[in-house]
Amino acid sequence: MVSTFLSRIIGLARVKYIMWLFGSGTDADAFNAAFVLPDMISYFLVGGAASITFVTILTRYRESGREAEGERSLSVILTTMYLVLGAAIVLAEIFAPWYVHWWFNGYDAHKAAICVELTRILLPAQLCFLAGGVFGAVLLVRKQFSVQAVAPLIYGLGTIVGGLLLVKRIGVSSLALGTVGGAFCGPFLLNWIFARRAGARYRVILDWRDEGLREWVRLSLPLMAGVSLVTADNWIIAHFASKIGGAVSLMSYAKQFFTAPMAMLAQAAGAASLPFFASLWTQNKRYEFATGVADSVSRVASLGLLAASAMIALGRPAIDLVFTGGHLTGSGARACATYFAIFSLSLFLWSAQAIYSRAFYAAGNTFVPMIAGTVVTLVSLPIYDGLYNLQGAAGLAIASDIGIAMQTLLIALLLHKRHMVSLASLDFAEMGRCLLAAVVAGGAVALLAWAIGAGFDHLGGTHPQGHARIADLAILLAGTALWLALLKWVLEKSGSALPRVAMRRLGLA
């Protein structure tokens, strides 16, 4: 979680750099939208095999002492998918103009042309993510998690370096080229180097009869056939937001700001838990599996509730302080802060579903979550449409929260119904204590932020921008201190063990 947080700091620096250069204008909208087609191709063709199903397959080989067979299957699967994904990328390069005009139908001809150019540059990066995901799975099975957090750091730096070196020559295309370079050096090269050190060897092998390939196809086809709202959320938001100038960029910035704490809880916990759950299931330890999943969900959901209270109360000054400047105006930052606050309401749900979904994957069942995700996505589409028509871009953020709530609840109910993870095993008492602490601390911090902001407004004088930044910094420092103090007090008074455990883990008790 700590290393993931540090990598997200680089990610925020990347977002800040993009915002500074292009704000939420035409180039920024085109750049943020250019990621959608590559993501779609990777999702529907790779189907999560690199990071999800491959961990399950390698765990089975490792637990049964057949690592040599697992290594051969790695080579077969990667070779096969490189051919499939490579062919798809070639076709996407050809049909990119048609796709952009269809999916981003709110873009004018100029913005669409820029988006097509950037999309074509970004498409080959999916080959790096595929190979990096497969080699990363080798490390995850061996309980080596550090590289998975460092790789995104290098990926984010690639965008910044590309801009610094080339932005004056080729404009926004420099960011796309830097992104591809970052994908090669980080997700691919770093995982390949450490997987090789761990003993993994890749060879070009095509064998349609390979047992591992057939198992991978069985597990991955459901993921390819369906679509989860966890991934489709960004695609749907970008589609509707393309009709509002600058909304694609502002909502993308808000979502990326949201993913920093979300990655610490949902992605880090999910990635770390999958090999452990897969190992327990393979060893037929059903009780330990069920309690392990329930305990993990209870913990990440509780932490998600606590974190969301600070994110909502301090989101506005944080975004003002970090993002405002360059080509991003104050009004743009305020809109971004609004979207961020709405997204933050669902942090505990994103965290919980990341664990729940991996419980199915660890058990080798990708069909049920695929059906569930596809149903939720289809049911959510009219919700996105309706709330967009009622509330504009903010309505899309609300629809996102509703969708992820449906996704989490449905997956939890399916696990419960199949007697895999009981809902009764969740620590509702601890989650209730954390919810109480979150409401008290978040409400107090919001009042403090209002009071400090009002006080600095009276002192604005001839330097309002300078006073605003000082006010933002004062709110963040004082608000964080108050939030931590109130959380500790409420949790201790309500009987929670969380403060004591946290202090012990930090070596302070």
If pLDDT is split at 50, 70 and 90, which confidence band does 266 have? low
pLDDT digits (tens, 9 = 90+) for 231-259: 889 899 999 999 888 888 888 888 888 87
Q: What is the DSSP letter of 325?
A: B
Q: Element (H or E) spanning 119, and its range?
A: helix 109-122
Per-residue pLDDT, 110: 93
Q: Which is more confidently placed, 316 or 406?
A: 406
Cα separation, 494 vs 172, in Å, equals: 52
% of the chain with per-residue pLDDT over 90: 37
Match 């964080």 to its residue by tokens.
480
pLDDT score, position 480:
92
According to the model, what pLDDT value does residue 145 have?
65
* Token output for 126: 């999916």
Q: How far, in Å, CA of 187 to CA of 155, rounded?
A: 7
Find out whether 49 and 223 touch, Cβ atoms under 8 Å.
Answer: yes
For the segment 472-478, the average pLDDT, to the nearest whole number, is: 88
Mean pLDDT over 206-212 rounds to 78
- pLDDT tier at 155 (50, 70, 90 boundaries)? confident
pLDDT at 461: 46
Q: What is residue 4's predicted lDDT score, i.e. its pLDDT?
A: 64
296's CB contacts (< 8 A; 6+ apart) are: 269, 273, 355
DSSP string across 48-110: TIIIIIHHHHHHHHHHTT-HHHHHHHHHHHHHHHHHHHHHHHHHHHHHHHHHHHHHTTTS-HH
**How far is 211 from 63, CA to CA, in rounded Å?**
16
Confidence of residue 414 (pLDDT cuts 50, 70, 90): very high
Confidence class for position 409, pLDDT limits 50, 70, 90: very high
Largest Cα separation within the chain, whole Å, is 76
pLDDT attached to residue 129: 87
Going by C-alpha positions, the residue among 196, 198, 49 that lies closest to residue 126 is 49
Q: Are 460 and 392 in contact (CB under 8 A)?
A: no
Q: Are 338 and 396 in contact (CB under 8 A)?
A: no
Distance from chain centroid for Cα 164: 26
Alpha helices in 418-463 (DSSP H): 428-458
Q: How far apart are the first and last CA of the chain?
A: 21
pLDDT at position 52: 60
Angle between helices 347-362 and 247-262 (to 10 degrees): 70
Q: Which of 122-126, 156-160, 395-399 has the lowest mean pLDDT?
A: 156-160
Rounded Cα distance, 131 and 143, in Å: 19
Q: Which residue has the tokens 């990066």?
A: 125
Q: How far is CA 130 from CA 74, 83, 135, 410, 455, in A?
A: 12, 12, 9, 29, 52
When pLDDT is cut at 50, 70 and 90, the band that residue 462 belongs to is very low
Residues 99 and 94: their CA atoms lie apart, in Å, by: 10
State residue 426 phi and psi, 5-degree precision: -70, 145
CB 173 within 8 A of CB 201: no
pLDDT of amino acid 47? 55
CA distance 138 to 201: 11
Q: Could you tell me the residue ranges of all domains in the chain?
A: 1-225, 228-497
Residue 460 reports pLDDT greater than 60: no
Radius of gyration over every alpha carbon of the chain, rounded to an integer in angstroms: 23
Determine phi and psi for 180, rounding to 5 degrees.
-65, -40
Q: Mean pLDDT of all residues in the chain?
A: 83
Residue 210: alpha-carbon gap to chain centroid = 33
More confident residue, 362 or 101: 101
Average pLDDT of the segment spanning 168-179: 93
DSSP assignment of 187-255 = IIIIHHHHHHHTT--------TT-HHHHHHHHHHHHHHHS--HHHHHHHHHHHHHTTSTTHHHHHHHHH
Q: Percent of the chain at pLDDT above 70?
A: 84
Confidence of residue 50 (pLDDT cuts 50, 70, 90): low
Question: Which of 87-101, 271-285, 351-365, 453-467 is predicted least confidently?
Answer: 453-467
The pLDDT score that the predictor gives to residue 177 is 95
User: Pick from 264, 294, 293: which is nearest to 279 by CA?
Assistant: 293
The answer to whether the CB of 275 falls within 8 A of the CB of 57 is no
Mean pLDDT is lowest, of 87-101, 286-300, 363-377, for: 363-377
Q: Cβ distance 297 to 355 under 8 Å?
A: yes
Q: How confident is the model at residue 416 (pLDDT cuts 50, 70, 90)?
A: very high
- Higher pLDDT among residues 507 and 335, named by residue: 335
The top-scoring range by mean pLDDT among 23-32, 189-198, 232-241 is: 232-241
pLDDT class of 82 with cuts at 50, 70, 90: confident
* Measured CA distances, 101 to 243, 246, 382, 446, 449 (Å): 12, 17, 22, 43, 43
Lowest mean pLDDT among 39-43, 173-177, 387-391: 39-43
